Structure 1
C-alpha cells in the first residue's frame, strides 16, 4: 500500500502534528504499508487560490503545470490521509484551496453530460483525521454533520472514492480531552491497517 499524508496545520507543535507523528510511526511498523509520502501544505507554501479567467479556463485546470507533481502524488497513492483542524465547522482554507485546485474536471472526475460525473480516482481510500476545540457532538447536532457530508459526499464520492473513514475528535483544548487516548486510537488504526 502506498500512502499520501496531507498535513494542513501551520504549527508543528500542534495536536494535529502529534497525529501526523502517530500516523508515520504506526505506518513504519505496518508491513502492509510499503511507502509513505507527506505533503505539508503550509511548509510547501502551496498556493490555495483558485484562479481562472478567459485565458486560464477552469476546464483546463487539470493541465496546470505547477500542479503536476501534486497530481502525480494523488495518482500514486492507494490511501490518502488528511490531517487538519476543524475551524468554523470546516477544514482550513488552505486544505479547501488544495481541494479546489486539485480535484479538477479531467483529472479527478469526467463530466460526460450524465446526471453524475464519472469519478476518476476509483479504488483509493481516504482517512480524515480532524480535531476541534468544541465537543465532538457539535458538528453532528449543531451543523447537521456538514463536515462529513462535505468531505464524503460532496468531494470523495463525487471523484469515485467510496471508502472514507473519519476520526473527528472534540474537546481537544480541554485539559481532560483524553488527547493521549485519541493519539493511541489513531496509532492503533494505522498499525493494523490492511488494504
Structure 2
C-alpha cells in the first residue's frame, strides 16, 4: 500500500507536526504499507492561488505542467492522509488551495452530464487527522459537521474515494487535552491499518 501524507501547518514545532511524526512512525512499522511519501505544503512553498485568464483556463487545469508531480503523487497513492489543523471550522487555506488545483476536472473526476460526475480516483482510501482549539463536539453541534461534510462529501466521495476515516481531535490547546493519548492513537492506527 503506497501512502501519501499531505501535511499542512507552517510550524514544525506544532502539535500537527507531532501527529505527522506519529503517522510516519506507525506507517514505517506497518508491513502492509510499502512506501510513504510526505508532501509538506508549506515547506514545498506550494502556491495555493488560482489564476485563470485568457492564457490559463480552468478547463485545462488538469494539464498544468507545474502540477504534474503532484498529480503523479495522487495517482501513485493507495491511501491519502491529510494532517492539518482546523481553523475557522475548516482546513487551512493552503490545503484548500491545493485541493482547488489538484482535484481538477478530467483528473480527479469527469462530468457525465448527469447529477453526479464519475470519480476518477476510485479504489483509494483517505484519512483526515485534524486538530482544533475548541472542544471535539464543536464542529458537530455548532457547525453542523461542516468540516467532515466538506472533506468527505464535497471532495473525497465526489472524486470516487468512498472509504474516508476521520480523527478530529478537540481541546488541543488545553494542558489536560490528553495529547499524548491522541498521538498514541494515531500511531497505533497507522501501525495496524490494512487498507
TM-score, length of structure 1 as denominator length? 0.99
Equivalent position of 2:8 in the other structure: 8
Q: How many residues align?
A: 195
Equivalent position of 1:102 in the other structure: 102
Question: In 1, distance between residues paired with 2:160 and 2:25?
Answer: 29
Equivalent position of 1:175 in the other structure: 175
1:26 Cα shift? 0.7
RMSD (Å) for aligned C-alpha atoms = 0.5
Alignment of 1:17-166 (within 5 A): 17-166=17-166
CA shift digits 1:30-50 (9 cap, x unpaired): 100000000000000000011
Question: In 2, distance between residues paired with 1:73 and 1:83?
Answer: 16
Question: In 2, distance between residues paired with 1:189 and 1:52?
Answer: 41
1:54 Cα shift? 2.5
Question: In 2, distance between residues paired with 1:112 and 1:32?
Answer: 35
1:55 Cα shift? 2.2
Question: In 2, distance between residues paired with 1:54 and 1:106?
Answer: 20
1:112 Cα shift? 2.1
Question: In 1, distance between residues paired with 2:168 and 2:26?
Answer: 19
Q: Secondary structure at the match of 1:130?
A: strand
Question: In 2, distance between residues paired with 1:133 and 1:115?
Answer: 37
Q: Secondary structure at the match of 2:129?
A: strand
TM-score, length of structure 2 as denominator length? 0.99
Q: Secondary structure at the match of 1:168?
A: strand
Question: In 2, distance between residues paired with 1:51 and 1:141?
Answer: 36
1:57 Cα shift? 1.0
Runs of 4+ in 1 over 6 A off after TM superposition: none
Q: Secondary structure at the match of 1:95?
A: helix
Question: In 1, distance between residues paired with 2:159 and 2:49?
Answer: 21
Q: Secondary structure at the match of 1:84?
A: strand
Question: In 2, distance between residues paired with 1:54 and 1:157?
Answer: 31
Unaligned runs of 5+ in 2: none
CA shift digits 1:117-153 (9 cap, x unpaired): 0000000000000000000010000000000000000
